[in-house]
Amino acid sequence: MAAGGKKIGFWPAAAIGVGGMVGGGIFAVLGLSVQLARGGTPVAFAIAGIVALLTSYSYVKLSVRYPSRGGTVTFLDQAFGPAYLPGSANVLLWLSYVVMLALYSFAFGSYGATFFSPAHAPLAKHVLISLAILVPTALNVASAKIIGRTEVYVVGLKLAILLFFLAVGAQGVDPARLAPSTWVPALPLVAGGMIIFVAYEGFELIANTGEDLGNPSRDLPRAFYVAVIFVILLYVAIAVVAVGGVPLGKLIAAKDYALAEAARPVLGQGGFTMIAIAALLSTFSAINATLYGSARLSYTIAKEGELPAELEHQIWGQPLEGLFITAGLALILANAADLNSISTLGSAGFLIIFAAVNAANLRLAKETGAMPWLAVLGVVGCLAAFVAMVWQSVSDDPAQAWVLVGLFGGALGLEGAYRLSGFKGPGKAARS
């Protein structure tokens, strides 16, 4: 239940979804999307948004039927029980949040490094990446209340800055830079949209408000659809202004901080600095919130018996063991991998998770009242998007195949090793 036993309404739930999506992804992946989709970048964001919107239908139906703070973990367990693959999917969800932490901290380091001289920027970037994880970890240990208070203000500030950027930047858009002749072919365009699908990760957090809503059957559907549609429109508009106002070469050259570069033509160096500061605030708050949620996610999965019971242990009344493991893995990944690899990992993980949620909605359609064909469309959409993304990623860089094997092999291996250990944890989904 919400703090103090108070129920929340539609707007706070929708804000959680918007804040989750516009948490740092758009700052991190805009340049990558331009590199992949060229003038078709707005279309790539729209395609990825359609997949998110299809999946939000399944989240709506499952959230209304099974309102709980467990969200995705609860839905998969309700549909498939404590079997090996659903357990692996829950572990994959946790690993995908680790990847998101790496993506946000990578973006924080990239934007922060723009304030240093070229000679010092590479070292500054890695120092900032590390601090972006270590400082929020300390804040999570100190007080969760700090996170809750600051997140509300940061979400409002970053949306205000982005909307200001759109209002001013729209004046400098050159339609010729967005013409179909500037797009990449259809399959790479779709694949490009899927590689940056991580920008839409976050709408599923609305599902975790189910127990706290005063009228979930009314407010959950509205919150999901309003949040996702608003963010689709926001991302497409940002892509139009960025690609239409700045030569593609400049955006690609500034790939790691492309949104700040897009502000320079109409707002000058002050605009560049303003967007860079917004990116720092946004990604830092996203790291804060994601660390808070992912530590509790690992705790929930352990309670379900799908991760070692050690992750159920609490230190000072908090699930800190999961927090430290999550932060440590993100720290290594963010400093060792490049933006393309991190984005590919995140998108791949969430596309498979969302395919599983759509499948859960299909399996439980009689209970949720869902239209089966829409659930099937969600499964097919996520899997087709995943295949297109993997094809494009591996075609461009065969080494990406090993990156993906590491992610999915890690989820399957962790769950499999835990089951083979024969340990019967206290979680309700104890090993069979």
pLDDT digits (tens, 9 = 90+) for 19-68: 778 867 788 889 989 998 999 999 999 999 999 999 999 999 999 999 87
Residue 219 C-beta-side C-alpha neighbours within 13 Å? 22
Residue with tokens 């709980």: 68
Arithmetic mean of pLDDT, 343-366: 94
Give the chain's domains with CATH numbers.
8-420 (1.20.1740.10)
Task: Say whether 432 sits in a helix, a strand or coil.
Answer: coil
**Helix or strand run (H / E) with residue 60:** helix 41-65
Instruction: Give one DSSP letter per residue of 55-100, joined into a string.
Output: HHHHHHHHHHHS--TTTHHHHHHHHH-S-HHHHHHHHHHHHHHHHH
d(CA 382, CA 52): 9
Please list the residues that pair with 213 across neighbouring strands.
8
Residue with tokens 């992804």: 25
d(CA 354, CA 346): 12
Take residue 26 and report the two structure tokens written for it.
């758009």
Structure confidence at residue 430 (pLDDT): 41
**C-alpha torsion 46→47→53→58, nearest 10:** -170
The one-letter amino acid code at 9 reads G
Question: Residue 272: phi, psi to the nearest 5?
Answer: -60, -45
pLDDT band at 313 (very low <50, low <70, confident <90, very high): very low
d(CA 229, CA 18): 10
Task: Say whether 333 sits in a helix, a strand or coil.
Answer: helix
Q: Closest by alpha carbon to 174, among 79, 260, 265?
A: 265
Structure confidence at residue 49 (pLDDT): 95
Task: Say whether 42 sits in a helix, a strand or coil.
Answer: helix
The one-letter amino acid code at 1 reads M
CB atoms within 10 A of CB 379: 21
pLDDT over 70 at 110, yes or no: yes
Residue with tokens 């605009």: 271
d(CA 33, CA 157): 24
Task: Say whether 318 sits in a helix, a strand or coil.
Answer: strand
What are 331-353's pLDDT values in tens digits? 999 999 998 889 989 999 999 99
Task: Give the number of residues written for the chain.
Answer: 432
Higher pLDDT: 322 or 18? It is 18
Take residue 34 and report the two structure tokens written for it.
């331009």
pLDDT over 60 at 290, yes or no: yes
Q: Please say whether the beta carbons of 47 and 190 come within 8 A.
A: yes
pLDDT band at 425 (very low <50, low <70, confident <90, very high): very low
Take residue 24 and report the two structure tokens written for it.
């740092």
What are 122-176's pLDDT values in tens digits? 999 999 999 999 998 887 776 544 555 555 677 778 888 889 999 999 988 999 9
Name the pTM for this structure.
Answer: 0.86
Structure confidence at residue 2 (pLDDT): 47
The lowest-confidence range among 56-60, 322-326, 377-381 is: 322-326
Structure confidence at residue 272 (pLDDT): 93
d(CA 59, CA 201): 13
pLDDT over 80 at 17, yes or no: yes
At a CB cut-off of 8 Å and minimum separation 6, what does 414 contact?
A: 88, 91, 307
Please list the residues that pair with 318 across neighbouring strands.
315
Instruction: Give one DSSP letter per residue of 116-145, joined into a string.
Output: S-TTTHHHHHHHHHHHHHHHHHHHHHH-HH
Residue with tokens 């839905």: 75
CB atoms within 10 A of CB 173: 17
